[in-house]
């Protein structure tokens, strides 16, 4: 019936790990938080920087949605458990987890430091493991299964001078499919998004000139620049009951960049 499309997210509870973003910018995690709330979910926005998460919550409140902000270091198991407990304490259930945290790298193995290797591998993988470890039992106990979306990158399959980053994001593909196999029978779906270049605060804050921005846009087959909203919409789809038959999926959201050999800066 016209007007009756229902994503099944009304009244559901979601955690977005890394749901903040600098200033009023739209990062992948902030966009997912806002769109999940617009679809009717209650959202716990978690970030290492509480002020960034709080701004996301304000943006959700401005749109009439319901959300709370929380600061946590998600490389720590007890803090991840604390986040899951906080969602249950606030809203009594847990249905969706968006594992969005990730940091970059620039160098080859020859030039990379051992310290930065360890940091990238830890931040890009451990929160995904630990948040899922604590979230899955809570999702199962909530009674409707659940959905986990892990954010990887097209660098996982098309490395381009970001070697540790690419390695960590490659592991996210395997982790997502292994989790899908392990927890499908419990009704928990696990999918993975591979974003292409997206114009987010994390990417433009260190400085990005107009030429580089244009190069990134040109790398897309459809000649458009990726936005946090593009990734957030994919998170909402995969988290919704429209994707009830979709698990273990590796979803490329890149405007076709990974099919082209054009430079993206
Ligand atoms: N922006 C891109 O072009 C792009 C491309 C491919 C993949 N990705 C991936 O998308 C994800 C989000 O990237 P983004 O550019 O949208 O960033 P974002 O704007 O969503 O910001 C990420 C947030 O995560 C938080 N964070 C980082 N480390 C944390 C930690 N240890 N604990 C808690 N919070 C932490 C940051 O404070 C920041 O607010 C990352 O996994 C990234 O690798 C981004």
Handedness of CA 207, 210, 214, 215 (dihedral sign): negative
Instruction: Provide the greatest CA pair distance for the chain.
Output: 60
Quote the DSSP letter at residue 48. Answer: S
Distance 61 CA to ligand 1 centre (A): 22
Segment 235-260, tens digit of pLDDT: 999 999 999 999 999 999 999 999 98
Those residues with Cβ within 8 angstroms of residue 137's Cβ, 6 or more apart along the chain or in another chain:
none
Return d(Cα 94, Cα 143) in angstroms, integer: 9
Quick: pLDDT tens for 143-169: 999 999 999 999 999 988 899 999 999
Q: List all residues 6 or more positions away from 246 whose beta carbon is below 8 Å from its beta carbon.
A: 189, 191, 238
Residue 172: exposure state from Cβ atoms within 10 A (0-12, 13-18, ≥19): buried
Of 27, 155, 171, the residue with max ligand 1 atoms within 8 A of its CB, to mutate for a pocket test, comes to 27
- Cα 18 to middle of ligand 1, angstroms: 6
Ligand 1 residue neighbourhood (C-beta within 6 Å): 18, 20-21, 27-29, 47-49, 52, 73-75, 100-103, 123, 151, 153, 195, 197-198, 200-203, 228
Residue with CA nearest ligand 1 atom 41: 102
- Residue-wise pLDDT tens digits, 66-108: 999 999 999 999 999 999 999 999 999 999 999 999 999 999 9
Report if residue 265 sits inside a domain. Answer: no
DSSP per residue, 59-91: HHHHTT--EEEEE--TTSHHHHHHHHHHHHHHH
Give residue 4 CA to ligand 1 midpoint distance, Å. 34
Question: Which atom of ligand 1 lies nearest, measured to the CA of 52?
Answer: 39
Contact yes or no for 97/15 (Cβ under 8 A):
yes
| Number of domains present in the structure of the chain | 1
pLDDT value, residue 5: 85
Query: What CATH number does the domain containing 211 carry?
Result: 3.40.50.720
Q: To the nearest whole number, what is the mean pLDDT of the chain?
A: 96
Q: Is residue 3 part of a domain?
A: no
Q: Whose C-alpha lies nearest to ligand 1, atom 30?
A: 48
The mean per-residue pLDDT over the stretch 175-193 comes to 98
Q: How far apart are CA 127 and CA 131, in angstroms?
A: 6
Distance 113 CA to ligand 1 centre (A): 21
Look at residue 49 and tell me if it is in a domain. Answer: yes
Q: Is residue 8 part of a domain?
A: no
Q: Could you tell me the residue range of the domain that residue 164 belongs to?
A: 13-259
Q: What percent of the chain has pLDDT over 90?
A: 90
Residue 160 lies in a domain: yes
pLDDT at 265: 59
Asked whether residue 54 is assigned to any structural domain, the reply reads yes
Predicted local distance difference test score (pLDDT) of residue 185: 98
**Residue 137, in any domain of the structure:** yes
């Amino acid at each position: 019936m016209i007007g009756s499309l229902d994503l099944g997210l009304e009244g559901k509870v979601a955690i977005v790990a890394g749901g903040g973003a600098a200033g009023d910018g739209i990062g992948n995690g902030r966009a997912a938080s806002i769109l999940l709330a617009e679809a009717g979910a209650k959202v716990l926005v978690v970030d290492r920087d509480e002020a960034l998460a709080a701004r996301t919550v304000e943006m959700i409140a401005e749109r009439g949605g319901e959300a709370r902000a929380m600061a946590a270091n998600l490389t720590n198991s007890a803090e991840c458990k604390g986040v899951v407990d906080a969602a249950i304490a606030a809203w009594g259930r847990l249905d969706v987890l968006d594992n969005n945290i990730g940091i970059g790298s620039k160098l080859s193995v020859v030039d990379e430091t051992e310290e930065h290797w360890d940091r990238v591998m830890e931040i890009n993988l451990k929160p995904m493991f630990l948040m899922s470890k604590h979230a899955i039992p809570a999702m199962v106990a909530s009674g409707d299964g659940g959905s986990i979306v892990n954010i990887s990158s097209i660098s996982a399959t098309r490395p381009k001078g970001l070697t540790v980053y690419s390695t960590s994001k490659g592991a996210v593909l395997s982790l997502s499919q292994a989790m899908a196999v392990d927890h499908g029978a419990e009704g928990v779906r696990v999918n993975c998004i591979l974003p292409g270049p997206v114009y987010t605060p994390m990417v433009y804050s260190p400085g990005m000139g107009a030429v580089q921005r244009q190069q990134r846009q040109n790398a897309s087959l459809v000649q458009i620049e990726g936005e946090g909203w593009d990734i957030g919409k994919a998170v909402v789809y995969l988290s919704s009951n429209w994707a009830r038959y979709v698990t273990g999926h590796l979803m490329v959201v890149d405007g076709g960049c990974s099919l082209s050999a054009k430079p993206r800066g």
